[in-house]
Structure 1
Amino acid sequence: MIDGTPFVLIVPAVFSQFFQAAEDYYHRFIVASTIRMIRYFAFALGLLTPSFYIAITTFHQEMFPTPLLISVAAQREGIPFPAFIEALIMEVTFEILREAGIRMPRAVGSAVTVVGGLVIGQAAVEAGIVSGVMVIVVSLTAISNLINPTYNSANSVRFLRFVFMFLGATFGLYGISLGVYALILHLCSLRSFGVPYMTPFAPINMQQMKDAVVRFPLWSFFKRPTIITGDDTERQKKPNKERPKKPKQNKNYRSVKR
């Protein structure tokens, strides 16, 4: 706790921890792993969806299937702004609504965000300021950003989204690719209290990969994370490294059943 704030900082913090939630360890590993992979997918959607749409509609129209291209072109007919300005208007509007919902009382905050987004989006489409496809793209981006269980990580995605939108509007998919490459290099160069920020992905640690993208069964976690331990890496003095066996059948089961 620093400077009287009610929040406690847990260090070191690595990239994979921002996609983990407490309820992951209360479910079966199949359910928890599926939810965690959805979080990673939503992270990519929230970061790159607007920039991909801008790049494809501006430079790479041939990537659209012909029926979809005709539909998008018909919706964009009469829109006075390019795709980048169109996306920028909607993104800034949604950010204003999100901040307004946070500052307002909890009872009406979420309602203001949802209703305000629907009303403003519909009004913007009817006024010919933005297209219906752009409203769908921005809405999908906003919803994907809310899936992240860590608020601070979501803030980083919100800022980087505008950077990738600019790269997509300027250089197309090549700019987005260079931006992703630069972002990965930057993340791999970071350290949190001496621990590589991208562990266990870079450097690869197969033991910690059990709790990164997927969550392995709890009985397989017989080692402590190396980022917070020294020489004592065992979770228990005598860890149970074997999978739980099926309980033996009661000998009197058949007689009781009869």
Structure 2
Amino acid sequence: MVIQTLLADDEPLARRKLREFLQADADVKIVGEAGSGAEVMDLIRKTNPQVMFLDVKMPGQDGFAVLEEIAAEKSMPMPSVIITTAYDQYALKAFDARAVDYLLKPFTMERLRAAVQRVKDQLSTAPAKPEKGPETREQEYLNRLVFKSKGRILFLPATEIRWIGAEENYVRISNGTESHLLRDTISSMEQRLDPKMFLRVHRSAIVNLNHVKEIRTDTKGDFVVQLLNGHIVPMSRSYHARIRHLLGRWMMRPKAS
């Protein structure tokens, strides 16, 4: 598998370093280099790259403006994107834009190899993509959350989320061993997560169905969701009918005695 790759960075030295690193990988073919947003768009139209290493700050259009322009052109396939930048504050925006990885300059050869391997894994397992349109893009859901916590940028796969709870203007996200408080709303999280995996059970709670053990009533007669790790999440009666309808489509019927 030869990966058609575009380098986009306004610094020639940065492009040269990246080029030298990538030329050591026989699976990577560099099809073009760009130093501005306009050049990026021109090269994408000409070369149709599978992967793009994209700097955030470039003259004319910045990296995110380039991604917005690509998305706006329905006939233009979106390449897999690896953001390269000297600034860590764009990480959340990068992954909202569905970047495959985020390389913080200066990065090492080992870090670059890991990013390239992530792209290879994605390309080797990806199904054939239908022509891009609004109706297909709307069905894309977050497969990971990226956020800052205690001076670190954390990557949390959606599959590892156990539950999400609302706390005023924040949401608390738990992976079973620790939780993180993020500035977001429970409704926004519900819309961005795959409804086949995540279910809202209360106005202030979402659970990952892959980590649910049972739904039952507690000693007060209220419905609760018990997770595999024993954690209890309240279920609102206002959501019960909707949940029962959804679960009814999946539930296996016991054999009649």
TM-score (norm 1): 0.19
Please say which structure displays the higher CA radius of gyration. 1
When you count strand as a share of all residues, which structure comes out higher?
2
When you count helix as a share of all residues, which structure comes out higher?
1
Q: Say which structure, 1 or 2, has more relative contact order (CA 8 Å, 6+ apart).
A: 1
TM-score (norm 2): 0.19
